[in-house]
Amino acid sequence: MQSILSIFKDKDLRKRVLVVFGFLGLFRLLSAIPVPTFDPTRIPDLASNNFLGFLNIFSGGGLERVSIMMLGVGPYITSSIIMQLLTMIFPSLKEMYQEDGEAGRRKFNQYSRLLTVPLAFLQGFALLSLLSNPSQGIIPPLTGFEMFINVLIVAAGSMLLVWIGELVSEHGIGNGVSLIIFAGIVAGIPAAFAQTFFQLQQAGGGIDSSALSTIIGYTVIAPIVIAGVVLITEAERPIPISYAKRVRGAKMYGGMSTYLPLRVNQAGVIPIIFAISILLFPPIIGSFLARISSNSFILGISNVLTGFLNNLLLYGISYFLLVFLFTYFYTAVTFDPDAISSNLQKQGGFIPGIRPGPSTTEFLSKLIVRITLVGAVFLGVIAVLPLIMQAAFSQIQSLTIGGTALLIVVSVVLETIKQIRAQLTLREYD
């Protein structure tokens, strides 16, 4: 309570918090505006499609309303992931991002924003094609002109949202893009609870006695999942680092000890988001085949591809494996044991019991592989948690938001709290 009061007592900090709330409110307002050719009285039912239901959560309900913000910040996230992967192929990009300081990172982020534009058009076309596919029946089929106008509008909406995220990061507190995703997830929680209540309600007005076990099971599991998410998000493996003593004249330098924190969940939620992007391709290809051909064989392939995500077992196994593999892949991209070993050696630091140089690199490589195994399994389980909940509690479909959304919410909240505390601590010393 005292911290909250301290936030609003400080003029600059209060302004930053109000900026965050103002822009998030604008995002929620824009999410309620449908595209021009969509009838807002026809709200599509996304409960039967796991993938679309998942995307709807991250768009803050914008996909369900077929709003101008239906893409959310998805194209920008995809663009950022692609740029990170390109650093492995092009050394100049890696040098720009890691060695050129703040100016290099600004230029790198500019490239990411430029790449967002074509990706927004591509994802907008793919998603609208999927929604208007006759086999899905979510929205009526679109003419060529309607498709062009809608793709243009949703792409512009996504770029507007990226700009809002940049403004929040610059003038507010925390990461703007993360806060937008957070707002979209949180905004859907009240509706999910309300829908669940109506699902479990009897015709007479009471709660169905057969659903009590479902309610109790969910009540027991939910806190365990939340505690697990917080634990894994904050978990780290400290590696002790010692620095050799150096004597120059009458002064002695070094001789101190510290530690190198290796996070259990080194990759964050990036592997889940990347896996979702890959899983989007089968229904996209299926929708494209259905639009270009009326051949029965081609239509059969199209139906198989578009129905891929509705097969819980196949979808769950594919999802888990992709998340598991991408966790290792992204960790390998972002964590460079050789660079860490080289920096330690230049600064006169070493790991006790490990020789500097190649031995340190080998030690860190083996250690990160073992640590990442825990993080990869955790992320995989979190990703398929909604499917497990649907299978275990068939009466509750609307509350299966899943651990992915929970993981993002917890991560954003913890990071924002840390930044607020840092701001408060800084002002105590002013």
Per-residue pLDDT tens for 363-407?
888 888 888 898 889 888 887 877 777 666 655 554 445 566 777
Structure tokens at 9: 């007592």
pLDDT at 411: 77
Give the residue among 18, 311, 396, 324 at the shortest CA–CA distance from 171: 18
C-alpha span between 165 and 155 (Å, rounded): 15
Is 239 found in the same domain as 150? no
Residue 331 has phi, psi (to 5 degrees) of -65, -40
H or E segment to which residue 229 belongs: helix 212-234
Angle at 258 between CA 252 and CA 262, to 5 degrees: 150
Is 48 found in the same domain as 118? yes
Q: Is residue 388 part of a domain?
A: yes
Is 90 found in the same domain as 11? yes
Q: Is residue 78 part of a domain?
A: yes
Is 267 found in the same domain as 370? yes
Q: Which of 118, 152, 187 is the last residue of a domain?
A: 187
pLDDT tens for each residue of 32-87: 888 877 666 655 555 555 566 666 666 656 777 778 888 888 788 878 878 877 87
Strands 246-248 and 236-243 turn out to be unpaired
Q: Is residue 200 part of a domain?
A: no
Range of the domain at 89: 1-187
Q: Is residue 405 part of a domain?
A: no
pLDDT at 133: 65
Question: How many domains are contained in the chain?
Answer: 2
- CATH number for 342: 1.10.3370.10
pLDDT tens for each residue of 246-305: 656 656 555 677 888 888 888 777 787 777 767 777 766 766 676 666 667 776 777 777
Q: Is residue 157 part of a domain?
A: yes
What's the rounded mean pLDDT across residues 159-181? 84
Q: Is residue 404 part of a domain?
A: no
Q: Is residue 199 part of a domain?
A: no
Is 235 found in the same domain as 170? no
Q: Is residue 390 part of a domain?
A: yes
C-alpha span between 424 and 430 (Å, rounded): 10
Is 342 found in the same domain as 226? yes
Does the pLDDT of residue 358 top 80, yes or no? yes
Structure tokens at 164: 């809002």
pLDDT at 400: 47
Is 218 found in the same domain as 181? no
Is 162 found in the same domain as 272? no
Is 221 found in the same domain as 183? no
Percent of the chain that is helix, strand, coil (3-state, to 5) = 70, 5, 25
Is 152 found in the same domain as 290? no
pTM passes above 0.95: no
pLDDT at 203: 43
Is 385 found in the same domain as 296? yes
The pLDDT confidence band at residue 357, using thresholds 50, 70 and 90, is confident
C-alpha span between 365 and 358 (Å, rounded): 10
Is 171 found in the same domain as 43? yes
396 DSSP assignment = -
Question: Would you list the DSSP string of 243-261?
Answer: E--EEETTEEE---EEEEE
Based on the number of CB atoms within 10 Å of its own CB, is 164 exposed (0-12), middle (13-18) or buried (19 or more)?
buried
